[in-house]
Amino acid sequence: MRLASKLTCPRCGHAETLTMAENACVVVYNCPACGARLTPKEGDCCVFCSYGDVPCPPIQAEQHCCSSPR
C-alpha cells in the first residue's frame, strides 16, 4: 500500500507529494500555487483518484471508497 501521492493541479501544473489518510477521502483541495479549488472528477471518490499519481488507499485495496462504488 502506497500512502504518498503526487497531486498535480490541472490548471497550473503545480505538483506536490502528499500523504493520504487511510480512512478518509479528500474531496476538496486548494492548490497552493494558483488557488484552484479541486474536487473529484465524475466517477472518482477523491482528489487523489482524479489528480494524483497513486489512487487512495481503499481503491488500491480494491474496496469501496466513501460513497463511490468501483
pLDDT at 69: 45
For 10-44, letters b (16+ CB in 10 Å) and e give eeeeeeeeeebeeeebbeebebeeeeeebebeeeb
Report how far residue 68's alpha carbon sits from residue 47's, in angstroms, rounded to the nearest whole number: 13
d(CA 25, CA 28): 9
Q: One digit per residue, pLDDT tens: the chain, 70 residues?
A: 999 999 999 999 999 999 999 888 899 999 999 999 999 999 999 999 999 999 999 888 887 766 544 4
pTM of the model: 0.86
Assigned domain for 37 exists: yes
Q: Establish if 69 belongs to a structural domain.
A: no
Specify the number of domains making up the chain.
1
The answer to whether residue 43 sits within a structural domain is: yes
Domain that holds residue 53: 4-60
9 falls within a domain: yes
User: Is residue 54 one of the residues assigned to a domain?
Assistant: yes
Is 70 domain-assigned?
no
